[in-house]
Structure 1
Amino acid sequence: MSGLPASTALHPGASEPLIRELFAVRENTYPSPLARWLIFAVVLVADVIDLLSSTVTNIATPSILEAFGAPDWLAPWLGASYALALGSMLVLGARLGDRHGARRVFLIGLCGFGAASALCAFAPTAGTLVLFRVIQGAFGALMIPQGFTLLLRSFPRDKLGPVFGLFGPLMAVSSISGPVLAGLVISADPLGLGWRAVFVVNVLVAAALLVLAIRTLPRIEADAAVTLDPLAVILLSVGLLGVLGALTLLQAPLTPWWPVLLGALGIAALAAFVAQQRRARHPLLAPSLFRKRSFTAGVVVGVGFFAVTAGVLFATTLYLQIGLGLAVLPAAAIVAAASVGIIAASFSTRALIPKLGRRLLLIGLVLLLVGVSGYLAVIALASGSPWLVAIPLFICGLGMGCGFGTVFAVALGDVDDSETGSASGALNAAQQIATAIGAAVISISYLGAAGGTSPQAGLLVCLFIVLVCTALSLLTLPLLPRRAAGTH
């Protein structure tokens, strides 16, 4: 990997001696070690608020639906609208960062993300909240891929192992902690805001992070030769929206033709996207990436892994709150068992990512299989004791903790330096799209099987689907690189 260019311009205000020392370019053209870790901190916090935004509505959904008097079928849209916008525009966000500079696009994305969070906090209707979540996700798509570019361009290749080792666990804890944080905030009900306070927290964190980012992020030279392709983004966004919308509307009180037409439109748009990318002189994704069997397999395994993660959490939320009628805080406390498992596994295995590579991911998927199987047994044999769910959730958390971070590190194992921006955008897009689809499929399955009277039946169907997806991910695992990025 090449370092930052020698002509890299520093951020405004970098004339102070301390800042100048922190961001001095050494003979290896990388920022100083302390500067690299400050950049890591900014990127980490940005990804944390993104992941919290992806998951906070899991636990807040019943409160939001009740406040607006909205139907249950709208539930998956509260989270999927954000994930869909983020996932479908991440690759474009990465290209914009290449063309206009990662620092500039990161700051624009962060400002827009904070403003959209404020709109979400004061949305007047459920429909406008979904719209504002789309806007929030779109600005997140500008911010997130720049973070990966900054990390991959600021750390020497042989230092990436520790970066992934810390980044993965901390992101994992953040993604799983969203429902717990939402439960605590909603229960505390600061200023009588209720669920709206969840988005106010985002605004405050984004404002503080903006100050830090302006002071710490160095400029990376823009590349005016990078071309943009709005048609590709439109086709991809319409395609994903059509497919996800069709899945979600299967439970809506609409004529059956609407989901069919929307699904057909989505499939046609995705097919047009693939055809257009094959002919494009400057495709959104580097074509060389998908000639690498290992990277393609990494995307497939990543989609399965993150869909399973989203499925387990969303199914649990639906079961505990809508099915059993538990209050926000008890439901969040049960879900917290998965957080404990993730924390335990993530921090105890992070040093093993460079050594074990895909074997660590294998361990994670096996633990997920064991956890979901135990979950099925608890629901089938002891459904009257919801607190017992915490035990298999803890085991699932152990599996998730082994997989978060490892998925990205292994998938990037054979990626060249020139492909890192496109690769990180593709992986993040895959994660968000998998999260949206996982939540939508689980919502449909739960509401369809439960029928309003049998929450146990709904959850059993959801867990069986999760079990099958986990098994399919295991079958694809041998195609991944044996080692993680930075260990070759």
Structure 2
Amino acid sequence: MSDTPYKWRWVALFVILAAEVMDLLDSLVTNIAAPAIRADIGGGESTIQWLGAGYTLAMAIGLITGGRLGDIFGRRRMFLIGAVGFTLGSIACGLAQEPDQLIAARVVQGLLGAVMLPQGLGILKDIFSEKEQATAFGMFGPVMGLSTVGGPILAGWLVDADLFGTGWRMIFLINIPLGLFAVAGGRAFLPEWKSARTVRLDLLGALLAAGGSALMVYPLVQGREHDWPAWAFVLIGLSVAVFGFFGWYEKRKSARGGDPLVEPSLFAKRGFSGGMVLGLMFFSAMTGFWLTFSLYTQLGLHYSPFKAGLTGIPSSIGMVVAFVLSQGLQRFGRKVMHAGLVVMVLGVGGLILTLQLAGAEVTPWQLIPALTVSGFGMGLVMAPFFDTVLASVEPHETGSASGTLTSVQQLGAALGTAILGTVFFERIKSTDFVKAEQFTLGVEIAMLAVVFAAVFLLPRHARPQGHGEAEAAEPENRAPAEATV
């Protein structure tokens, strides 16, 4: 960064925040709107899963290369391309007449969002001084909190309000003014930046990562509708083989002096490898929780979309409170994550008990205690996640590590939609909605137990480089801006 900070930096911040809000809203809205969408344009139960999984899977695939494209072609240029593409994808979603058209448009949103988001974060790191970065990136927390609380409520209200006769379509069309602001503001106020070093795109590595991810998620969603044919298990096996080949290829490319998509040295670090397992399982459990709970409240309890959105408020508030309190708990390191998982299990268990006692007559008021506790636990796990996982990463590995972890987060969201959504719909075949949701929540608790064990693989503390005990032999590093938001 130059000695004189870019004079339009605070305006640039709000432009980039607009792009972040588009992504945050679109990752949440279909959980609430999915039943209304299916009732309007048809499709099977897997359509509901693909509305979320298509977006997050595409985002996971795109994020692996999105940041690298900014290094090669310029961050401002790729931000604008991503913002235009995301807005057009939103319009395509709003105009879709068939399930396949809508799912395809969701994939476009995810891919172009993955091009847009890394550029904005990189630009902010370049235009703000080190002292200003804490303030600038600190604004992402409230935005994330408001979006988490307000996203489902806004989606439910828009579906019920049926503005201009658009029904569910307005949850996507509302992105148009945000997208126009991001494009116009990006053209006017974002500075151009391009890496001085010649960087090559690892195209084969990107294709292998994309192929392995798709081969894993597709059979998990579609296998149930076809009564679990042999090809579903063959594809899952192939995904494991493709990821294995991807690891070998990345190691070979690095040894030959190339630019691998993911630094192979990262996988030799127990903390980082454990963090990938942890992130994959935790974000699977969390995303699957929101999907199945939204479906249960609408399909099982017959809540309107707006009422279903309001019902989730306690969990969102609990999460935001945990984010705030976690700042004073940093000295406890990974123990905070363990405590958060215990609290989250208590909340999910409380939800199972509430459904057992109240049954199909349960009210939103009765759900408040369990939802608040589970949301608080989620927040305690999420807040220190990136810092702790990246604690033992070398400075030159930070960019690759943060990008990989963010991709794993999105892949976990796609897997959670596939796995827990499939469990929920499978149970509905043989039992009622209450028991199906209880069973699904039981599976979630089992997933959280795996996450609890994986936390032991992480460094005990996330410390700045040059400070700390002799716990880790490798130097530790603060999480980059891409990770903290």
Q: Is the contact made by 2:18 and 2:181 (CA closer than 8 Å) also made in structure 1?
A: no
1:385-424 alignment, distance < 5 Å: 385-387=362-364, 388-424=366-402
For 2:182, the equivalent position in structure 1 comes to 209
Q: Is the partner of 2:27 in helix, strand or coil?
A: helix
Q: 1:44 to 1:291 in 2, by over 3 A?
A: farther
1:183 to 156, 176, 191: 156
Q: Is the partner of 1:412 in helix, strand or coil?
A: helix
Distance 1:151 1:415 in 2: 22
For 2:292, the equivalent position in structure 1 comes to 315
Question: How many Å apart are 1:86 and its aligned residue?
Answer: 0.7
Say whether 1:105 aligns with 2:83: no
For 1:342, the equivalent position in structure 2 comes to 319
Q: 1:101 to 1:292 in 2, by over 3 A?
A: farther
Q: Kindly provide the CA deviation profile for residues 101-126 of structure 1, in whole angstroms up to 9, marking residues without a partner as x.
A: 22222221111111111111101211
Q: Is the contact made by 1:159 and 1:486 (CA closer than 8 Å) also made in structure 2?
A: no
Q: 1:254 to 1:477 in 2, by over 3 A?
A: closer
Q: Which moved more, 1:165-174 or 1:293-302?
A: 165-174
For 1:382, the equivalent position in structure 2 comes to 358
Question: How many Å apart are 1:256 and its aligned residue?
Answer: 1.4
For 1:119, the equivalent position in structure 2 comes to 92
For 1:143, the equivalent position in structure 2 comes to 116
Question: How many Å apart are 1:35 and its aligned residue?
Answer: 5.8
AA of the residue aligned to 2:389: A
Q: Kindly provide the CA deviation profile for residues 164-194 of structure 1, in whole angstroms up to 9, marking residues without a partner as x.
A: 6553454254245432221111112111101
Unmatched segments (≥5 aa) in structure 1: 7-24
AA of the residue aligned to 2:22: I
Distance 2:391 2:15 in 1: 24
AA of the residue aligned to 1:467: I
For 1:14, the equivalent position in structure 2 comes to none
Question: How many Å apart are 1:223 and its aligned residue?
Answer: 4.0
For 2:327, the equivalent position in structure 1 comes to 351
Q: 1:411 to 1:102 in 2, by over 3 A?
A: farther
Say whether 1:434 aligns with 2:418: no
Distance 1:417 1:255 in 2: 45
Q: Is the contact made by 1:107 and 1:143 (CA closer than 8 Å) also made in structure 2?
A: yes
1:283 to 248, 252, 260: 260
Q: Is the partner of 2:391 in helix, strand or coil?
A: coil
Q: Is the contact made by 1:106 and 1:143 (CA closer than 8 Å) also made in structure 2?
A: yes
Question: How many Å apart are 1:80 and its aligned residue?
Answer: 0.3
TM-score between the two structures when normalised by the length of structure 2: 0.87
AA of the residue aligned to 2:38: L
Say whether 1:456 aligns with 2:434: yes
Q: Is the contact made by 1:450 and 1:456 (CA closer than 8 Å) also made in structure 2?
A: no
Distance 2:115 2:439 in 1: 37
AA of the residue aligned to 2:46: W
Q: Is the contact made by 2:32 and 2:309 (CA closer than 8 Å) also made in structure 1?
A: yes
Q: Kindly provide the CA deviation profile for residues 428-447 of structure 1, in whole angstroms up to 9, marking residues without a partner as x.
A: 10111000101111111011
1:4-19 alignment, distance < 5 Å: 4=1, 6=2
Q: 1:419 to 1:148 in 2, by over 3 A?
A: farther
Distance 2:362 2:390 in 1: 43
2:270 to 283, 293, 300: 293
Alignment RMSD, CA only?
2.6
Question: How many Å apart are 1:134 and its aligned residue?
Answer: 0.8
Distance 1:68 1:92 in 2: 34
Distance 1:166 1:390 in 2: 28
Question: How many Å apart are 1:136 and its aligned residue?
Answer: 0.9
Identity of matched residues, %? 34
1:214-363 alignment, distance < 5 Å: 214-223=187-196, 225-253=198-226, 256-280=229-253, 281-346=258-323, 348-349=324-325, 351-352=327-328, 354-363=330-339
Q: 1:39 to 1:401 in 2, by over 3 A?
A: farther
Distance 2:26 2:16 in 1: 15
1:141-180 alignment, distance < 5 Å: 141-154=114-127, 166-168=139-141, 170-175=143-148, 177-180=150-153
Say whether 1:370 aligns with 2:343: no
Q: Is the partner of 2:28 in helix, strand or coil?
A: helix
Q: Which moved more, 1:103-112 or 1:402-411?
A: 402-411
AA of the residue aligned to 1:290: F
Q: Is the contact made by 1:172 and 1:401 (CA closer than 8 Å) also made in structure 2?
A: no
Q: 1:141 to 1:215 in 2, by over 3 A?
A: same
Distance 2:326 2:189 in 1: 26
Q: Kindly provide the CA deviation profile for residues 21-50 of structure 1, in whole angstroms up to 9, marking residues without a partner as x.
A: xxxx34xxxx36x86555544443322221
Distance 2:396 2:11 in 1: 24
Q: Is the partner of 1:461 in helix, strand or coil?
A: helix
AA of the residue aligned to 2:351: Y
Q: Select the structure with the greater relative contact order (CA < 8 A; seq sep ≥ 6).
A: 1
Q: Is the partner of 1:252 in helix, strand or coil?
A: helix
Q: Which moved more, 1:299-308 or 1:187-196?
A: 299-308
Distance 1:154 1:476 in 2: 37
Q: Is the contact made by 1:345 and 1:399 (CA closer than 8 Å) also made in structure 2?
A: yes
AA of the residue aligned to 1:466: E
Distance 1:152 1:385 in 2: 48
For 1:90, the equivalent position in structure 2 comes to 63
Q: Is the partner of 1:480 in helix, strand or coil?
A: coil
Question: How many Å apart are 1:259 and its aligned residue?
Answer: 2.0
AA of the residue aligned to 1:104: R
Distance 2:347 2:108 in 1: 36
Q: Is the partner of 2:354 in helix, strand or coil?
A: helix
